[in-house]
Chains A and B, each alone.
Chain A
Amino acid sequence: MKALVSVKRVVDYNVRIQVKSDGSGVVTDGVKHSMNPFDEIAMEEAVRLKEKGKITEIVAVTIGGDKSEETLRTALAFGADRAIHIKEGGEVQPLTAAKAFAAVLKKEGAQLFIAGKQAIDDDANQTGQMVAALLDIAQATFASKVEVDGNKAVVTREVDAGLETIEVDLPAVITTDLRLNEPRYLKLPDIMKAKKKPIDATTFADLGVTPGAGFKVTKTAPPPTRSKGIVVKTVDELVAALKAKGLL
């Protein structure tokens, strides 16, 4: 059984995000990028399933410009057997990404599509669900535990009320939540081996996908900075200050 895992190159989580002065987006030039942390969890889960003998092949897929190859190499170092690079620079909206992943999934005949629940750059949390809808297959989102048995998967989901356990028929989409696993340290020999693993390049056109623009980003702004507090000396002053703010 084959699993397809999508990985995305995003600004590293340690980097303090800065908004461009013209509000057209965030600064990405010269900024450290790495694999979306939720996708690392997806990769780790796929590798564990393979180690348990539940799946036999892991294919990593990404959409992005040349630099996204680094992210695929990371996936290959985790333990993906091969990778597919959908070479498309520029903005890719969730629906476009989902159409492309759905096309790859179909072509590969993979039984499992494992993806991070969302990418930490746009926090959209849509792609996995859309892939399931486009292919009319089951979805198990926000997974914190995954067990694959034959052509079924039992998935524990993190929902507002607690944990929900569902069983889905394969093929299915699973999106990973934070508590699913702790991704391993990449070993130097694995990174070396990853350099030699195959990456196939493709494009939206090859996959028969027409990129769409379902929405337009009109403005990016940093959160408001906290204004300075004032020091009050007495309770009376405090009460007066609160009253002045209309809080009492």
Chain B
Amino acid sequence: MSVERDVMEYDVVVVGAGPAGLAAACRLKQKAAEAGKELNVCVVEKGSEVGAHILSGAVFEPRALNELFPDWKARGAPLNVPVAGDEIYFFRSPEAAFKMPNVFVPKTMHNEGNYVISLGNLCRWLAKQAEDLGVEIYPGFAAQHAIVEDGIVKGVQIGDMGINREGEHKDDFAPGMELRAKYTLFAEGCRGHLGKQLIAQYQLDKDADPQHYAIGIKEIWTVPPEQHKPGLVVHGAGWPLNLLGTDALGGSFLYHFENSQVVVGLIVDLSYTNPYLSPFDEFQRFKHHPVIRKHLEGGTRVSYGARAIVKGGLNSLPKLAFPGGVLIGDDAGMLNFAKIKGSHTAMKSGMLAAEAVAEAIFAGDEGGKVLNGYADKFKASWLHDELYRSRNFGVFLHKFGSLIGGAINYVEQNWFGGKFPFTVHDLKPDYKTLKLASESQKIEYPKPDGKLSFDKLSSVFLSSTNHEEDQPVHLQLKDPSIPIGKNLPLYAEPAQRYCPAGVYEVVGDEGAKPSEKRFQINAQNCVHCKTCDIKDPAQNINWVAPEGGGGPNYANM
């Protein structure tokens, strides 16, 4: 089906209005103003508005923001809650925990000078700054694929609207536009669907360790004002995940935000081994721990969401530039796992890329080159230094568990400043870590009590996610026979459990023959977390962008 497409030409197109993309857009315009030149910059965002798909803890380190807008306070940036207290717990059991004395906390986990924020609101503010600088931002439009001609990325094509489930044009069919640019900045966040294709196409990761991921599930609660302590930051490791073992790792967070709101979340490393594990249910039971419960009791849950997190760090970082484009932020994997922070690193990478792009274009570059200037700037920056110091952090946890690995990290971070004279590697990709169901123990999760813990569907409802019903399923199976034919017998089809939104179901009576079972994809529920694309043991699920504007509508996430 060939359709005529409108084309718009820009100097720079940015894919994704998150911290990396927006910081890059702002920086481009700042550089243009400094040079007294023009740069046309366009940002496309698949969420229905800027911030709709942004989900983060978040404790925010303002380093990159200080560089981008030194006067952010006067500009009204939503950094309203300075961190007022840091607590770290090792959860030993459903009832017991010990609080780590401050002297044993790795330096990277200290949060003085940081702020408890909503990253979604910070992005909304950044978008306003960008628009004031002349950036064009178009939310509700998903970049469907990169335009590659003669091996050079020339821009992106926006997804068509008005296509039915069978792929036919509906009455309101509207062809997606081509946005062409000298350089395209890919800032889709963790496991961006275009970033994934580009990394494969240009073999950007051939010298890097496999990327590693986690899934973060987060809720926002409104609590009684008398139990609200703005700025209190609580981190934890251990129960319901492992403290000593390495089968299920991760950590938890609970932050007291503004307006009597408390955010709580659990991060589960996607290197977990038991296919019966359900990150969603682990999180629900986690909230019953006395250390956590006391913050939430008497409150109401107002929002829910989930997002994959990229955590391989420097060892897993792909090459950043390819002809005509670059990867920035978590699309490349800039998150600093030792700090569990990716926003300031995302912003910084976007700013560095913007500087390289602006310098190249002002020097007469017509686009389409491999922007090595970005990689050079990255290597010379504090961002690289920071990621270098953190390169072993996640690996030690993966190899030795939270307690022992954590102790090694304490030594490296606090005594060696993050600079052990060696680098450790974690070479097993997350989709290969599952044990067979027959060798694994089933996990019986407690029933939700409807006060602290909830079922999946009522949770997804709070993400306000929505997709036009009559459109092609955006979770594509490369081989439709695998879920029932292979994943079910081998791994009890883990998609049913790792998906935090109830997208995947195996339908059929318990004990029925596999031939009587059916794999159902409820694509409408999807919260765009990308976990399925990462964890499916057969790497059979391909997440592609649905019709623009679909997906969650997060507020204050």
Contacts and interface: CB of A to CB of B under 8 A. Distances in A.
B555 A187 contact: no
Counting chain A CB atoms within 10 Å of each CB, the highest count among B118, B124, B174, B465 belongs to B174
Contacts of B171: 182
Nearest to B47: A32
B483 interface: no
Nearest to A225: B450
B48 A188 contact: no
22 contacts: A12-B553, A14-B466, A14-B553, A16-B464, A21-B222, A30-B121, A30-B124, A30-B555, A30-B556, A32-B48, A32-B555, A184-B172, A184-B174, A185-B161, A185-B172, A185-B174, A187-B6, A188-B8, A188-B158, A188-B177, A189-B177, A228-B450
A192 B140 CA distance: 13
B49 interface: yes
A187 B456 CA distance: 35
A32 B553 contact: yes
Interface of B: 6, 8, 48-49, 52, 118, 120-121, 124, 136, 138, 140-141, 158, 161-162, 171-172, 174, 176-177, 222, 260, 302, 450, 461-462, 464-466, 553, 555-556
A195 B135 CA distance: 12
Nearest to A70: B49
A184 B171 CA distance: 9
Interface of A: 12, 14-16, 18, 21, 30-32, 34, 182, 184-189, 191-192, 195, 228
B321 to A, nearest CB: 27
Contact of B48 (A12, A18, A192, A195): A12
A107 B85 CA distance: 60
Contact of B302 (A12, A18, A186): A18
B49 A32 contact: yes
B104 to A, nearest CB: 37
A15 B555 contact: yes
Contact of B553 (A15, A185, A192): A15
Given A14-B553, A185-B174, A30 B118 contact: yes
Contacts of B260: 21
Contacts of B141: 188
B162 A185 contact: yes
B48 A16 contact: no
B302 to A, nearest CB: 6
Nearest to B260: A21
B8 A187 contact: no
Contacts of A30: 118, 120-121, 124, 555-556
Contacts of A31: 555
Nearest to B52: A32
Contacts of A187: 6, 174, 177
Contacts of A15: 464, 553, 555
A195 B171 CA distance: 26
A31 B464 CA distance: 11
Contacts of A34: 48
Nearest to B222: A21
Given A16-B464, A30-B118, A189 B6 contact: yes
A195 B48 CA distance: 18
Nearest to A33: B49
A143 B49 CA distance: 31
Nearest to A32: B553
Contacts of A188: 6, 8, 138, 141, 158, 176-177
